[in-house]
């Protein structure tokens, strides 16, 4: 009997702990969501309203946000797909031909760790000269760095799982290396490619520092920059700002949830099938 | 081997190598142009007094910038906070991340809990900053409201160094623990079931199960998560920008944020900012090298040429 | 593959559409939140009268505006055509601004007949100059006021209680020393009968706000007879932080006293070190404090706040107990844009600073006027009560430095003052001397 009660008690404790942790971790997001639906009278109250008493959709009339949303979509999607392509190619070369050995792979992977501020300033100066300031291309190029770096790391692990015998078999059948790549390797590493696309998209979407430094107005600025425009601001309108925050939150959450299997596989370098 | 066959194999190998080099070219070009070139430019400017807000600057001044860093109390103060993030936030993230995985493993609703925890990871840091400004507001915030239940008088979160630091660390923990969780949880999942069953049959308790069966597999995942997180922690920026702006005083100014203030925000002092950035890069590089060694990256990625 | 083709086709179509809808001249204007709403409204009115010109107004916070603008001007990239620049950044933005004196002489035909240049307040116009060049038309002649709860100060019950507590009548403070008792009276923690939670809403955050709050307290010392004797008179190039010949003037007992005055009030303010512009406006709007030093256009928010109705009875406005500080904004035009855009931009800034515009943005948005005629306008004085007080305040307000190194000086000083007020650095003349040393280093340029 004692053993059974202990197990039940333990289980209750576990549920309680999980609920507590989740409540704390999701609270900031929850606060943004409810504030987005609050009218002005409820933004700053005491006691605070944990639920909008008079929910409204007025805050979502942020038409000014559309160019920023467009820019985020363009930049994040482009980085996602281009980084997948470049990563796959580079990872193939490393996995199959061991080009550059540990040194080269190490260098690629270390690019992921590059603190953005360290390249932001010289890039600003360079971008001005080559007229890449405040352009999509400028942002895409710079965000490809962490995306490709991480993507290569992920793809190498995935490609290592594709048996080399398949390469040999294809070769024996008369295929060129490029054909082998296109018809054998690529299809088998699709889930790795998908993982890189999802990860790159989510990471680029949230990126803030480089976008702030390298863009000037709504022609190229992304959503995080839009949100950051009112830092230590005047008279912050919490409702519209929270609505904008909500709009910014949704795409990566949606993509992350829909493609969570790829996300998990990607972040664990293929170790887990999810 | 017949010489003819050997020649053919060599020709094939050369051809293969050419294709391989072609495949690796885009990545190499990307990094050279976008990262190495700016990096070299920055090394150069760190030895000058270039200041974009004043004309006539840009002369070579040797190591002056670097010496100034050591006499700059604001820079030294930034080291303190960056270290706090490394030594306080990261361990807590590791602990809660691993703990959460262990808690939900085998529990009913495991998938849902996992999903909910992941949502936090998808949210941009800026959004957390906005949320924090509301939650930790002195007169109207939910945080002080919760405290009032325990009879604790309201705290001026952003007005005191310690509490402002707490807020930033708290935000960092909220944002990054799910990442740790994800990686270590994957490790938990990959523990072979038969090992668990065997241990159970042998009468092992939950604790013994963890130490002897799960932990060994988990170790490498924990290492990966830890070192990625340690290096990323040096980058902390968005949350500070949106809430405390490095204040009060220097309390929440990370090294990255200080570089931003010097180099972008208050006057484009490129020379000095470059010197600060070089130091940051050196520290990051040391940590990265550590990463590669600890992970035994060569073997992990099967890159070592077979003897 | 198909997905990409579709994407490309859509992009091309969107691009064509965008090109077709482009007006003949499109101007980009960047501004701060104080000026933003009024400029947006003016842009709309301007476009009605000038249908071939489109103005895109970008509103960003001060911390974002300044570096963006400076970078654009220094890099000569011409991203922003028109911009509002803050008074103390005159020296650093100067090189990128169009010389308006020359420009107006060459293109005098675009100046409207009834513009009346002489109507512009001399001080405002001078603040739009640097090194003798007119680099901006004054737009917002901003200064700080002392808002207080008239109803509470006039209430006989509180007057009696205050007299019982402090032995003197309750009245709006005229010095910061006086303000301490009043603030204490209105802070619940120290007076359980207080109608408000806190006495005064103060903002001493580690942002550029700190740099303009200090002169409110330092001004009285700097401008006292002793101060003038020791440091010389104040000129608008170097301002109250400096002596008349450009040396830091705060590393002495006066600077220390100013900081001590600030510290004395802190217990009676809600989170002064962690509150900025937005927070203090919110505190006063919701009736949480009895006093609030603030700029001129927060009045519009106070006026419409539910907790402060009826506003004519509850919102009192007085001159600053210490001295006010100048916060002028001017409209500048980038030197690095094509002539066609410069002409269009000039048309707009003339429009925005015309008599009609000045009157309307004052009444609608609380933008303090740059014109003599509007200051004297009885209608304006009726709508906005503080207009009458402005002329006196303009004569006594303090100034921040306008030299090119100003932003760097600010950045260092914000941190030092914050740490001194928090007690992390000892609040002594020694510490101020150390700060002054850092100033000297920046000024002598590396």
CATH number at residue C177: 3.40.190.10
Q: How many domains does chain C have?
A: 2
Domain boundary among C363, C378, C396: C396
Are residue C66 and residue C108 in the same domain, yes or no? yes
According to the model, what pLDDT value does residue A257 have? 83
Nearest by CB to residue B159, choosing from C273, C412, C445, is C273
Chain C interface includes B201 (CB < 8 A) = no
| pLDDT tens by residue, B135-187 | 999 999 999 999 999 989 889 999 999 999 999 999 999 999 998 898 888 88
- Whether A111 has a pLDDT exceeding 90, the answer reads no
Q: How many residues does chain C have?
A: 446
* Chain A residue with Cα closest to B236: A115
Q: Residue C261 sits in which domain range?
A: 144-318
The DSSP annotation for A160-227 comes to HHS-HHHHHHHHHTT--HHHHIIIIIHHHTHHHHHHHHHHHHHHHHH--HHHHHH--STTT--HHHHH
Where do the domains of chain B lie? 1-37, 64-300
Shortest Cα distance, chain C CAs vs residue B66, angstroms: 13
Domain boundary among C318, C338, C357: C318
According to the model, what pLDDT value does residue C188 have? 94
According to the model, what pLDDT value does residue B54 have? 72
According to the model, what pLDDT value does residue C242 have? 96
Cβ–Cβ below 8 Å for C271 and B156: yes
Are residue C187 and residue C126 in the same domain, yes or no? no
Cβ–Cβ below 8 Å for C72 and A216: yes
C67 vs B contacts (CB less than 8 Å): 264-268
Torsion-angle region of residue B245: left (phi > 0), alpha (psi -120 to 50) or beta? left
Shortest Cα distance, chain A CAs vs residue C58, angstroms: 7
According to the model, what pLDDT value does residue C46 have? 96
According to the model, what pLDDT value does residue C13 have? 72
Strand segments (E) across C32-113: 53-59, 82-86
Residues 125-154, chain B: which have Cβ within 8 Å of A? Answer: 125-128, 130-135, 137, 139-142, 145
According to the model, what pLDDT value does residue B126 have? 87
C61 vs A contacts (CB less than 8 Å): 229-234
> Which regions in chain C score pLDDT beneath 70?
1-4, 16-23, 445-446
Are residue C308 and residue C160 in the same domain, yes or no? yes
| pLDDT tens by residue, A57-79 | 988 887 778 889 999 999 999 99
According to the model, what pLDDT value does residue C328 have? 93
Are residue C169 and residue C310 in the same domain, yes or no? yes
- d(Cα B38, Cα A132) in Å, to the nearest integer? 14
Are residue C342 and residue C266 in the same domain, yes or no? no
The ipTM (two decimal places) reads: 0.86
Whether the CB-CB separation of A194 and A81 falls below 8 Å is answered with no
| pLDDT tens by residue, C197-247 | 999 999 999 988 999 999 999 999 999 999 999 999 999 999 999 999 899
* Chain C residue with Cα closest to B48: C446
Are residue C345 and residue C275 in the same domain, yes or no? no
* Chain A residue with Cα closest to B26: A86
Cβ–Cβ below 8 Å for B186 and A242: no
Establish if C349 belongs to a structural domain. yes
Are residue C233 and residue C370 in the same domain, yes or no? no
Chain A interface includes B179 (CB < 8 A) = yes
Establish if C207 belongs to a structural domain. yes
B248, B257, B272: best mutation site toward chain C, by most C Cβ within 10 Å?
B248
Chain C interface includes A134 (CB < 8 A) = yes
How do beta strands C25-31 and C53-59 pair?
Answer: parallel
Residues 6+ apart with CB under 8 A from B6: none
Percent of chain B with pLDDT over 90: 26
Cβ–Cβ below 8 Å for B31 and A92: no
A73, A76, A133, A233: best mutation site toward chain C, by most C Cβ within 10 Å?
A233
Are residue C244 and residue C359 in the same domain, yes or no? no
Q: Which top CATH class is B64-300?
A: mainly alpha
B8, B11, B23, B206: best mutation site toward chain A, by most A Cβ within 10 Å?
B23
Q: What are phi and psi for residue B48, nearest 5 degrees? A: -120, 175
- Whether B306 has a pLDDT exceeding 50, the answer reads no
Nearest by CB to residue B303, choosing from A98, A107, A202, is A98
Chain A interface includes B19 (CB < 8 A) = yes
The stretches of C266-354 forming alpha helices (DSSP H) are 277-285, 298-303, 311-314, 339-352
Cβ–Cβ below 8 Å for A234 and C61: yes
Establish if C424 belongs to a structural domain. no
Cβ–Cβ below 8 Å for B130 and A105: no
Are residue C192 and residue C250 in the same domain, yes or no? yes
How do beta strands C82-86 and C129-130 pair?
Answer: unpaired
Cβ–Cβ below 8 Å for C71 and B268: yes
- d(Cα A136, Cα A132) in Å, to the nearest integer? 8
- d(Cα B130, Cα C66) in Å, to the nearest integer? 21
For chains A and B, what is the number of CB pairs under 8 angstroms?
Answer: 300
Angle at CA A226, nearest 5°, toward A221 and A230?
Answer: 135
Cβ–Cβ below 8 Å for C445 and B49: yes
Are residue C173 and residue C310 in the same domain, yes or no? yes
| pLDDT tens by residue, B32-57 | 998 888 889 889 989 988 887 777 77
Residue C397: name the closest of C231, C227, C232, C234 by CA. C234
Are residue C72 and residue C221 in the same domain, yes or no? no
Nearest by CB to residue A235, choosing from C33, C58, C75, is C33
| Res. A10 pLDDT band, cuts 50 70 90 | confident
According to the model, what pLDDT value does residue C169 have? 94
Q: Which residue has the higher pLDDT, B16 or C179?
A: C179
According to the model, what pLDDT value does residue A187 have? 78
Chain B interface includes A47 (CB < 8 A) = yes
- Whether A233 has a pLDDT exceeding 70, the answer reads no
A236 vs C contacts (CB less than 8 Å): 278
Instruction: Using DSSP, state whether A173 is helix, strand or coil.
Output: coil
Percent of chain A with pLDDT over 70: 95
Are residue C37 and residue C137 in the same domain, yes or no? yes
According to the model, what pLDDT value does residue A172 have? 77
Establish if C157 belongs to a structural domain. yes
Please name the helix (run of DSSP H) or strand (run of DSSP E) that holds residue C200, with its range, or none. Answer: strand C198-200
Shortest Cα distance, chain B CAs vs residue C257, angstroms: 20
Domain boundary among C254, C286, C318: C318
């Amino acid at each position: 009997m004692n053993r059974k009660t202990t197990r039940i008690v333990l289980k209750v404790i576990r549920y309680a702990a999980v609920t507590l942790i989740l409540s704390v971790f999701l609270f900031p997001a929850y606060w943004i969501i409810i504030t987005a639906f609050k009218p002005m009278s409820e933004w700053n109250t005491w006691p605070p309203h944990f639920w909008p008493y008079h929910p409204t959709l007025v805050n979502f009339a942020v038409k000014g946000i559309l160019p920023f949303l467009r820019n985020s979509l363009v930049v994040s999607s482009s980085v996602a797909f281009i980084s997948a392509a470049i990563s796959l190619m580079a990872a193939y070369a490393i996995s199959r031909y061991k080009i550059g050995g540990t040194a080269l792979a190490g260098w690629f992977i270390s690019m992921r760790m590059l603190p953005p501020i360290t390249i932001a300033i010289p890039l600003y100066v360079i971008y001005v000269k080559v007229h890449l300031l405040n352009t999509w291309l400028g942002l895409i190029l710079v965000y490809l760095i962490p995306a490709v770096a991480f993507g290569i790391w992920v793809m190498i692990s995935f490609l290592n799982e594709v048996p080399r015998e398949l390469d040999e078999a294809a070769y024996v059948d008369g295929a060129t290396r490029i054909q082998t790549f296109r018809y054998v390797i690529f299809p088998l590493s699709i889930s790795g490619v998908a993982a890189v696309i999802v990860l790159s998209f989510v990471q680029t979407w949230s990126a803030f520092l480089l976008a702030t430094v390298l863009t000037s107005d709504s022609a190229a600025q992304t959503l995080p920059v839009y949100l950051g425009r009112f830092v230590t601001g005047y008279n912050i309108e919490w409702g519209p700002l929270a609505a904008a925050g909500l709009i910014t939150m949704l795409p990566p959450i949606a993509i992350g949830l829909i493609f969570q299997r790829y996300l998990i596989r990607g972040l664990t370098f293929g170790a887990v099938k999810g | 081997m017949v010489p003819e066959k050997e020649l053919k194999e060599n020709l094939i190998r050369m051809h293969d190598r050419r294709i391989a080099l072609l495949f690796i070219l885009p990545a190499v070009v990307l990094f050279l142009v976008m990262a190495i070139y700016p990096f070299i430019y920055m090394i150069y400017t760190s030895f000058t007094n270039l200041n974009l807000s004043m004309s006539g600057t840009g002369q070579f001044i040797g190591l002056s910038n670097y010496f100034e860093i050591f006499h700059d109390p604001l820079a030294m103060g930034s080291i303190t906070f960056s270290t706090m993030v490394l030594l306080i936030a990261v361990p807590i993230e590791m602990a809660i991340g691993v703990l959460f995985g262990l808690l939900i493993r085998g529990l009913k609703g495991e998938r849902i809990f996992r999903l909910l925890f992941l949502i936090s990871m998808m949210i941009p840091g800026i959004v957390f900053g906005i949320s924090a400004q509301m939650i930790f507001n002195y007169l109207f915030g939910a945080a002080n409201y919760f405290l009032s239940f325990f009879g604790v008088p309201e705290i001026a979160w952003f007005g005191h160094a310690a509490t402002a630091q707490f807020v930033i660390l708290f935000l960092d923990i909220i944002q990054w623990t799910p990442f740790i969780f994800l990686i270590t949880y994957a490790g938990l999942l990959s523990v072979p079931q038969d090992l668990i069953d065997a241990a159970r049959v042998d009468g092992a308790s939950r604790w013994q199960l963890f130490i002897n069966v799960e932990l060994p597999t988990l170790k490498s995942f924990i290492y990966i998560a830890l070192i990625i997180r340690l290096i990323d922690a040096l980058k902390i920026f968005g949350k500070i920008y949106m809430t405390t702006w490095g204040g009060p005083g220097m309390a929440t100014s990370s090294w990255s944020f200080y570089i931003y203030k010097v180099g972008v925000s208050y006057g484009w002092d490129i020379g000095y900012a470059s010197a600060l950035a070089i130091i940051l890069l050196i520290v990051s590089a040391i940590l990265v090298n550590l990463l590669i060694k600890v992970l035994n990256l060569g073997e992990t990625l099967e890159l070592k040429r077979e003897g | 593959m198909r997905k990409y083709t579709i994407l490309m086709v859509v992009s091309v179509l969107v691009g064509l559409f965008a090109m077709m809808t482009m007006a003949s001249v499109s101007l980009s204007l960047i501004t701060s939140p104080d000026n933003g709403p009024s400029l947006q409204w003016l842009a709309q009115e301007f476009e009605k009268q000038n249908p071939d010109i489109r103005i895109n107004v970008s509103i960003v916070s001060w911390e974002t505006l300044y570096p963006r603008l400076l970078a654009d001007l220094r890099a000569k990239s011409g991203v922003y055509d028109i911009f509002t620049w803050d008074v103390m950044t005159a020296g650093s933005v100067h090189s990128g601004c169009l010389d308006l004196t020359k420009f107006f002489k060459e293109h005098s035909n675009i100046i409207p007949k009834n513009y009346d240049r002489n109507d512009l307040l001399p001080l405002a116009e001078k603040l739009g100059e640097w090194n003798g060049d007119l680099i901006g038309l004054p737009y917002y002649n901003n200064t700080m006021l002392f808002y207080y709860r008239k109803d509470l100060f006039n209430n006989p019950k509180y007057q009696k209680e205050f007299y019982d507590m402090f032995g003197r009548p309750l009245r709006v403070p005229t010095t910061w020393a006086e303000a301490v008792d009043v603030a204490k009276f209105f802070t619940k923690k120290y007076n359980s009968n207080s109608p408000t939670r806190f006495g005064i809403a103060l903002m001493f955050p580690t942002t550029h706000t700190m740099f303009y709050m200090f002169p409110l307290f330092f001004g009285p010392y700097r401008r006292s007879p002793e101060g003038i004797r020791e440091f010389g008179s104040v000129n608008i190039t170097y301002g109250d932080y400096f002596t008349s010949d450009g040396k830091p003037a705060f590393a002495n007992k006066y600077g220390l006293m100013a900081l001590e005055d600030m510290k004395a009030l802190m217990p009676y303010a809600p989170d002064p070190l962690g509150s900025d512009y937005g927070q203090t406006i919110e505190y006063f709007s919701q009736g949480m404090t009895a006093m609030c030093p603030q700029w001129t256009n927060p009045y519009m928010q106070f006026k419409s706040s539910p907790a402060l109705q009826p506003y004519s009875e509850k919102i009192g406005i007085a001159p600053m107990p210490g001295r006010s500080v100048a916060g002028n904004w001017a409209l500048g035009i980038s030197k690095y844009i094509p002539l066609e855009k410069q002409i269009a931009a000039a048309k707009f800034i003339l429009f925005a600073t015309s008599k009609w515009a000045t009157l309307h943005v004052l009444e609608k948005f609380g933008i303090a006027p740059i014109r003599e005629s509007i200051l004297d306008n009885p209608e304006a004085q009726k709508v906005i009560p503080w207009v009458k007080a402005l002329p006196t305040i303009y004569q006594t307000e303090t100034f921040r430095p306008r030299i090119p190194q100003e932003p760097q000086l600010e950045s260092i000083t914000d941190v030092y003052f914050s740490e001194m007020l928090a007690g992390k650095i000892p609040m002594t003349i020694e510490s101020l001397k150390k700060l002054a040393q850092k100033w000297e280093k920046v000024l002598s340029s590396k």
